Amino acid sequence: GEDVEQSLFLSVREGDSSVINCTYTDSSSTYLYWYKQEPGAGLQLLTYIFSNMDMKQDQRLTVLLNKKDKHLSLRIADTQTGDSAIYFCAEWDTGGFKTIFGAGTRLFVKA
């Protein structure tokens, strides 16, 4: 079945890099996403990667995709206190008209 798994918590010091990992099961996914949720708000798309790519870089964000292992990661360079939030990994099931989300990783950034 479809499932997206990610660790629930990550704590880093300000200025360090954060790496959030995710595994997914649906090998037919065309797009994989990272969404960010700040307190009291809905989710907002942070970045996405097409399934035929291995890596995507967008300013401080680097997404790595290992299709063989069905592993997705998000690296945030120079993590700031404003990056404290919940980060959701997600995959798009185009045939099912739905996006499947992981449970979310809560990132704590210590000053």
Partner 1 sequence: KAGVTQTPRYLIKTRGQQVTLSCSPISGHRSVSWYQQTPGQGLQFLFEYFSETQRNKGNFPGRFSGRQFSNSRSEMNVSTLELGDSALYLCASTKGQGANTGELFFGEGSRLTVL
Question: How far, in Å, CA of 1 to CA of 35, rounded?
Answer: 22
Q: Does 53 bind partner 1 (CB under 8 A)?
A: no
Report the greatest alpha carbon distance in the chain. 44
- Amino acid making up residue 28: S
Give me the least distance between CB of 12 and partner 1, in Å please: 21
Q: Does 48 bind partner 1 (CB under 8 A)?
A: yes
41, two tokens: 């708000």
Q: Does 20 bind partner 1 (CB under 8 A)?
A: no
Question: How far, in Å, CA of 103 to CA of 14, rounded?
Answer: 24
Q: Does 108 bind partner 1 (CB under 8 A)?
A: no
Q: Does 102 bind partner 1 (CB under 8 A)?
A: yes
Could you list the residues that contact partner 1 (CB under 8 A)?
Answer: 8, 30-31, 33, 35, 40-45, 48, 88, 92, 94, 96-104
